[in-house]
Amino acid sequence: MAGLATAFGSGAMTNPMEDVVQHARAMLIIGSNTTEQHPVFGTKIRQAVLKRGVKLVVADPRRIDITEYATLHLRHKPGTDIPLINGLMNIILANGWQDDEFIANRTEGFDELKAVIEEYPPEKVAEITGVPVEKLRQAAEILALNKPMAVMWAMGITQHIVGVRNVMDLANLQMLLGNLGVSGGGVNPLRGQNNVQGACDMGALPDVYPGYQKVNTETAIQKFEAAWGAKMSEHFGMTVTEMIPEIESGKIKALYILGEDPVMSDPNSSHIRHCLEICDFILLQEIFPSETSRYADVLLPGVSFAEKTGTFTNTERRIQMVRQAIPPLGEARQDWRIISELAQRILAFGSRQVNANAPFAQWNYRDTAQIMDEIAALTPSYAGVSHARLEAGEQLHWPVKDANHPGTPILHVGQFTRGKGKFTPIEHIPPQEMPDDDYPMLLNTGRVLYHWHGGEMTRRATGLMQVYGQALVEINPDDAERLGLNGNKRVRVSSRRGSIEAEAWVTERVPPGMVFANFHFPEASANELTIAALDPVSKIPEYKICAVRVEAIRG
Phi and psi for 431 in degrees, rounded to 5? -60, 160
Site membership for ligand MGD, residue 87 (CB under 6 A): no
> Could you give the CA distance from residue 2 to residue 10 in angstroms, rounded to a whole number?
7
Q: Is the Cβ–Cβ distance between 381 and 201 less than 8 Å?
A: yes
Of 56 and 448, nearer to Mo ion (C-beta) is 448
**Contact 45/21 with Cβ under 8 angstroms?**
yes
31 contacts ligand MGD (rule: CB under 6 A): yes
| Interacting partner of 336 out of ligand MGD, Mo ion, none (Cβ under 5 to 8 A depending on kind) | none
Residue 543 engages ligand MGD in binding (rule: CB under 6 A): yes
The CB-of-312 to ligand MGD minimum distance in angstroms stands at 11
Task: Give min distance, CB of 64 to ligand MGD, in A.
Answer: 5
**By CB under 6 A, residue 519 contacts ligand MGD:** yes
Q: Is 64 in the site for ligand MGD (CB under 6 A)?
A: yes
Q: Find all residues with CB under 8 Å of 423, minimum gap 6, and list them.
A: 107, 108, 109, 110, 112, 113, 172, 175, 176
Nearer to Mo ion, 192 or 513 (CB): 192
Amino acid found at 109: G
- Least distance (Å) between residue 235 CB and ligand MGD: 25
| 14, 213, 285, 313: residue in contact with ligand MGD (rule CB under 6 A) | 285
Cα–Cα distance for residue pair 409/391, rounded to 1 Å: 19
318-357 footprint of ligand MGD as x/- string (CB under 6 A): -----------------x----------------------
Say whether residue 282 binds ligand MGD (CB under 6 A): no
Binding of residue 154 to ligand MGD (CB under 6 A)? yes
Give the nearest distance from C-beta 159 to Mo ion in angstroms: 9
DSSP 301: E
**b/e map 214-228, b = 16+ CB within 10 Å:** ebeeeebbeebeebb
Residue 334 binding result from ligand MGD, Mo ion, none, given CB thresholds of 5 to 8 Å by partner type: none
DSSP state of 523: G
CA distances from 175 to 181, 186, 348, 409 (A): 10, 9, 53, 19
Out of 3, 11, 61, 198, the residue judged to bind ligand MGD by CB under 6 A: 61
59 vs 221, which CB is nearer to ligand MGD? 59
Give the residue from 147, 161, 36, 104 showing the smallest Cα distance to 431: 161
Asked, as a colleague might, if the bond just before 399 is cis with ω within 30 of 0, I would say yes
CA angle 82/86/89 to nearest 5° reads 150
Q: How far is the CB of 336 from ligand MGD (least distance, A)?
A: 10
Which of the choices ligand MGD, Mo ion, none does residue 53 contact, using the CB cut-off of 5 to 8 A by kind?
Answer: none
Instruction: Please report how close the Cβ of residue 90 comes to ligand MGD at its closest, in angstroms.
Output: 18
Nearest to 437 by CA among 352, 520, 344, 548: 548
Binding positions for ligand MGD, rule: CB under 6 A: 30-33, 36-37, 59-62, 64, 78-79, 81, 154-157, 159, 192-193, 258-261, 265, 285-288, 290, 302, 304-305, 335, 444-447, 449, 451-454, 456-457, 519, 526-527, 530, 543-544
